[in-house]
Structure 1
Amino acid sequence: MTKVVRISGDEVTVEVTVRLSGSLLDMEGAIQEATNAVGRCATEEALQRFDTDGSAIRVGAIKLTARGRDPKEYQTPYGPVEVERYVYQSSRGGRIYCPLEHQARIVRGATPRFASQLSHKYAQLNVRAVQTDLEQNHGRTIATSYIQNVAEWVGTIATAKEEDWEYAMPALETPIATVVVSLDGAMIPMADSAGWREAMVGTLSLYDDEGERQHTIYLAAAPEYGKQEFRQRMEREIQRVKRHLPEALYLGIADGAASNWRFLEQHTDRQLIDFFHATEYVGKIAQATHPQRHAEGPRAQWQSAHCTTLKHDPAALDLLIGEAARLSQRHTLSQTLRDDVLSAWTYFTNHRHQMDYPGFVAAGLPIGSGVTEAACKTLVKQRLCASGMRWKNKGAKIVLSLRALTQTTGRWAQFWPKIDQFGAECYG
């Protein structure tokens, strides 16, 4: 049994009775039920504090009058709570307006904290896993359609306000010397016979003068919205970081895609081919150097040794280019191997001005886009590419928006106070 026994100003005293019998597991279940009951009781009182007294109000230039008090059930972290609240309409009719829902920042019938919990879980888990987690760990039975509805609304707010809402960077222990800007793509399975299409991923990684990464900003975009819109979002983030860190060195690190370099050259001071991407081409030369079927050991040793020299020896790149040119003319090699080493020759020749690994290493600068490669997996693949998944553009956009917010340290915690400040426009 749970009841409010005293209300004094902003304080509410709730009385609860908990029956402790059976095993400890049984008792813990009873305690959880009682805790949820207290939460429902207090939340009912809290919701009523956002209602009006029924007087006429204005929303912008429009005068609205109360139609009466209607009961409405709201979903909370502790369970459903039903309250009677005033609803309003203009003299001309039209859309119904509920001041309580607007002032309390209700999101599709969910209180802000519950909407935050649902959308955060949905960013990490598929909808049935979220449903199971809520039931098993929170004592909440929620329909999958409702979970998706709330999460999609929250994700829509995040994407709609992305240009307007600026997030503060966390307090960092050491000064930032270098900002690495990197972008890449990850293929995701699409519904409606669209097959697999590329989602875009971008990162801005902040490094101190010892080369230690202190903070990373993550961005992602669904295929529908195209690379141009994604790059506009990246550009906004870069401009914001530059306002905070105007003295930092800005590096662009990516693979060899020409469109990436056109963007990075506009926004970074220096550019570098991702070292680990370059090592894949060293591997092609190693394969041609030791083409025998059972030469895995010598091949791996050759690749490892030449990757090390590529990283530290300024002359190593020209040696690799020369070796690739020589091997591409060796007629004892298969056409496939000759084509592979020719592709390595072309790659190293075209990008030699972006492969100063010894200079970067000597200066203590990053030489890899491993953060972005990892983001392709953690931000996109882990959530969107599970067995049997197929995505429509809207759903992929929502999930990627939520995951970028939750993976960028500090942003999720700032996102909800912004909703609290600016609102989540709700009519009911």
Structure 2
Amino acid sequence: MMLIAPNTLPVRGRPMEVCQLRTEAATISCDAIQRLGDQLQALRESGNPIRHFEGFEQTVNALFNQAQQDFLAEALAELDIDTPAIEVSGITYKQVLRSYKTYQTAVGSVRVMRTLYRNGKEPCIVPMELKAGIVEGFWTPRAAKQAAWVVAQMSPGEAKSLLDLMGGMSPSESSLARFPRQFNTQWEQHREPFEEMLIEKLNVPTNAVTVAASLDGVMLPMKDGKRVEKRARSASEGKRTQGPTGCKEASCGTLSFYDQQGERLSTVRIGRMPETKKLTLKQSLSALLQEALRQKPQLSLVKVADGAKDNWSYLSQELPAGVEVIDYYHAADHLKKAFDQAYGENSIKSKEKFVTYRHVLKEELDGVERIIK
């Protein structure tokens, strides 16, 4: 039986003691690098002179990616443990299976032989995955970070198109769609300790003199919101059928730091969905602000939001004293509606007034007073 030295790492969103072999590090073969050199030399000789550079560039990219995949597959295989039993934190796990599995790296998928161990009826553990920090049994750490970023910016289909175009990893659309749901499940189960770690990493810029706290929300139709059924039921009961039926609130909050000249230095962004009244978001924003003011108590606080009552009951009553500002975008939106009411919706005069006075609102020191007058 092989004894394992423990090392605490987050695995699948939870702390777990990870096995590390007490042996000298194995040397990874340089075969992949040698093959790459030979292939590049052959490509250069066959394409001299280069007639279609786009195709040449694509081939070079593919060759480098393949070399990286081979190298990473070898490195992952070196992390595997093949022995009848292992002991982790005093618990014995027996080998139950050795088989190949495909993993997604930042340069493409790799297929690796790995060993599974089990203790009784508990779920199997895979030492290689734990040692490498494999996320959700599929993504390498770097690939997981990249996948999380792209699906936060665009739909899974658009994310796949972008990754295919870049020529690195190319996970399926369904894998990209599943990943944020899997990530969310793990995050919610351990949200408080995870957020504590993020708060500890908050770094207020040394030349920051102002911190701005802001939050907002928007009602979004939910896939399982049963919008049609709810409106039909409301109609049968004689109630209004307008409004955000079948919708739930998505909310976001920011903490931004500014220098003496009003230039933004950095911003921390947090979001939640779905959640009524932004309850968890407000707690997270308050904790971040508290840490910022602990690091730099002399920061001036500015609170920014639209005119929603719920935003200001939080900003005014639950945060420390500070300057309160209706954000320009929403103020301008109300200004536009006011001119439409006065001069006709989207009339020439309404548009002219709006262009003139939105500039006054934003740029002139007494702009707010002039607009109200």
Same fold (TM over 0.5): yes
Q: Is the 8 A contact 1:249 1:269 kept in 2?
A: no
The alignment status of 1:81 with 2:103, answered yes or no, reads no
In 2, Cα distance between the equivalents of 1:169 and 1:282? 37
Find the partner of 1:57 among 67, 86, 89: 86
Q: 2:34 aligns to what?
A: 15
Find the partner of 1:119 among 145, 148, 151: 148
Name the SS of the counterpart of 1:67 in structure 2: strand
Q: Which moved more, 1:72-81 or 1:43-52?
A: 72-81
1:139 is displaced (CA, Å) by 5.7
1:39 is displaced (CA, Å) by 1.1
1:52 is displaced (CA, Å) by 2.4
Q: 2:209 aligns to what?
A: 177
Find the partner of 1:249 among 300, 324, 333: 300
Amino acid at match of 1:200: S
The alignment status of 1:102 with 2:134, answered yes or no, reads no
Q: Is the 8 A contact 2:109 2:169 kept in 1?
A: no
In 2, Cα distance between the equivalents of 1:142 and 1:282? 47
1:302 is displaced (CA, Å) by 7.6
Q: Is the 8 A contact 1:286 1:303 kept in 2?
A: no
Name the SS of the counterpart of 2:134 in structure 1: coil
Which structure would you say has the larger RCO, counting Cα contacts within 8 Å and 6 or more residues apart?
Answer: 1
Q: 1:367 aligns to what?
A: none
Q: Residues 244 and 55 of structure 1: is their aligned pair in 2 closer, same or farther, counting only changes over 3 Å?
A: farther
Find the partner of 1:264 among 304, 307, 315: 315
Q: Is the 8 A contact 1:182 1:203 kept in 2?
A: yes
Q: Is the 8 A contact 2:204 2:257 kept in 1?
A: no
1:25 is displaced (CA, Å) by 3.3
Aligned residues: 310
Q: Is the 8 A contact 1:181 1:268 kept in 2?
A: no
Find the partner of 1:213 among 237, 260, 264: 264
In 2, Cα distance between the equivalents of 1:270 and 1:171? 18
Amino acid at match of 1:135: D
Amino acid at match of 2:222: M
The CA deviation string for residues 327-358 of structure 1, in whole angstroms up to 9 with x for no partner, is: xxxxxxxxxxxxxxxxxxxxxxxxxxxxxxxx
Aligned-pair identity in percent equals 26
Name the SS of the counterpart of 2:138 in structure 1: coil
In 1, Cα distance between the equivalents of 2:203 and 2:351? 46
The alignment status of 1:236 with 2:287, answered yes or no, reads yes
Q: Is the 8 A contact 1:178 1:206 kept in 2?
A: yes
Name the SS of the counterpart of 1:97 in structure 2: coil
**TM-score where L is the length of structure 2:** 0.70
1:30 is displaced (CA, Å) by 2.8
The CA deviation string for residues 96-142 of structure 1, in whole angstroms up to 9 with x for no partner, is: 11111111111232222222222222222211222223333216553
Q: Residues 54 and 255 of structure 1: is their aligned pair in 2 closer, same or farther, counting only changes over 3 Å?
A: same
The alignment status of 1:312 with 2:312, answered yes or no, reads no
Q: 2:274 aligns to what?
A: 223
1:164 is displaced (CA, Å) by 3.2
The alignment status of 1:133 with 2:185, answered yes or no, reads no
Q: 1:93 aligns to what?
A: 121
Q: Which structure 1 segments of 5+ residues have no match?
A: 1-7, 324-428
- Describe how 1:191-206 pairs up with structure 2 within 5 A: 191-192=223-224, 193-194=226-227, 195-206=246-257
Amino acid at match of 1:163: E
Q: Is the 8 A contact 1:115 1:154 kept in 2?
A: no
**TM-score where L is the length of structure 1:** 0.62
Q: Residues 153 and 50 of structure 1: is their aligned pair in 2 closer, same or farther, counting only changes over 3 Å?
A: farther
Q: Is the 8 A contact 2:102 2:109 kept in 1?
A: yes
1:53 is displaced (CA, Å) by 4.4
Q: Residues 188 and 305 of structure 1: is their aligned pair in 2 closer, same or farther, counting only changes over 3 Å?
A: closer
The alignment status of 1:72 with 2:104, answered yes or no, reads no
CA RMSD of aligned residues (A): 3.4
Q: Residues 139 and 275 of structure 1: is their aligned pair in 2 closer, same or farther, counting only changes over 3 Å?
A: closer
In 2, Cα distance between the equivalents of 1:149 and 1:88? 26
1:150 is displaced (CA, Å) by 3.2
Q: Which structure 2 segments of 5+ residues have no match?
A: 1-24, 228-245
